Amino acid sequence: MTKPLRTTLVALLATAAALASGLPAHAEPGNHAMGSQIAKHEGRSARPATFDAAASVPGMDVSSWQGNVDWARAWANGARFAYVKATESTTYRNPYFNQQYGGSYNVGMIRGAYHFAAPNLTSGATQANYFVDNGGGWSPDGKTLPGLLDIEYNPYGGDTCYGIGQRAMVTWISDFVNTYRSRTGRWPVIYTATNWWNQCTGNLADYSQVSPLFIANYSGSPGPLPQRWLYHTIWQHADSGVFPGDQDLFNGTYDRLKVLATNRD
């Protein structure tokens, strides 16, 4: 994805600071986006995504890497929903959040916010509260999707599962999910990759009855899903394409997308 100059300079300075301090590059929270680790760990397929256009809704997800997004152009190209990064851990807030979150809404998109998890740093409840307090809430306005928990491969260096065992990981996720629910009245969407989920949670808990699944898979199809989930709600099928940021598909008609935005759990 194209990175704005300002954001690139910030990333370079952060990397230099990390190296000077002895930390691995990208060890500090901030510059990680949904799917930023998927291609690194799982690769990409040359096969285009296959889907039923009549039963799908195109969308996108963005972070600070996209800067100020041309939402009118994204809408003209067919995007009808978006997820926007709000926070990471408890120390980072996307500096472009207001433009991205408000801009997508203003052109008519249904949009939601997401949190990039750092389960090795603070508790799930602490991060859920930080997320809600910094743009990750929900509104019954028919245009706001429930907040999203992005839990994926560890980008900070070290163990894939953040050095956390499966039971501890499930406890962390449950802590986040339940806190978000108590704060907003909605269960959060969970974004993940099947291989990571199976390895790092061991499928020790069942979230399929409460949290919609946003699956990441760049192989041309959603592929096998994490155990417990019988279907996916949204599929991130590519990390670049006609829209800025990642390319997503809602698994259903536009009317069903509106239900996700408006229905209380």
Q: What does the pLDDT average to over 212-223?
A: 94
Of 28, 61, 239, 246, catalytic:
61
| Residue 41: per-residue pLDDT | 78
Q: In the annotation, is 42 catalytic?
A: no
Write out pLDDT tens, residues 61-84. Answer: 999 999 999 999 999 999 999 999
| Residue 74: per-residue pLDDT | 99
Residues 236, 222: Cα–Cα separation, whole Å: 8
| Residue 130: per-residue pLDDT | 99
| Residue 14: per-residue pLDDT | 40
Q: Does 15 have pLDDT greater than 50?
A: no
pLDDT band at 17 (very low <50, low <70, confident <90, very high): very low
Residues 117, 106: Cα–Cα separation, whole Å: 28
| Residue 24: per-residue pLDDT | 37
Write out pLDDT tens, residues 205-217. Answer: 999 999 999 999 9
Q: Does 163 have pLDDT greater than 90?
A: yes
| Residue 77: per-residue pLDDT | 98
DSSP string, 216-253: E--SSS--SPPTT-SS-SEEEEESSSSSSSEEEEEES-
More confident residue, 86 or 18: 86
Of 152, 239, 246, 248, catalytic:
152
Q: In the annotation, is 152 catalytic?
A: yes
pTM assigned to the model: 0.87
Average pLDDT score over the chain: 88
Write out pLDDT tens, residues 174-203. Answer: 999 999 999 999 999 999 999 999 999 999
| Residue 46: per-residue pLDDT | 54
Q: In the annotation, is 255 catalytic?
A: no
pLDDT band at 38 (very low <50, low <70, confident <90, very high): confident
- From the list 46, 45, 56, 133, the residue with the least C-alpha distance to 97 is 133
Write out pLDDT tens, residues 41-54. Answer: 776 655 666 667 77
Q: Does 100 have pLDDT greater than 80?
A: yes
Q: Does 35 have pLDDT greater than 90?
A: no
Domains of the chain listed by start with CATH number: 32-262 (3.20.20.80)
At 75, phi and psi to the nearest 5? -65, -45
Of 28, 42, 88, 150, catalytic:
150
Exposed, middle or buried, 76 (CB in 10 Å: 0-12/13-18/19+)?
Answer: exposed
Q: Give me the sign of the Cα torsion angle 153, 222, 113, 240.
A: positive
Q: Does 224 have pLDDT greater than 50?
A: yes
Q: What does the pLDDT average to over 85-92?
A: 97
Q: Does 220 have pLDDT greater than 60?
A: yes
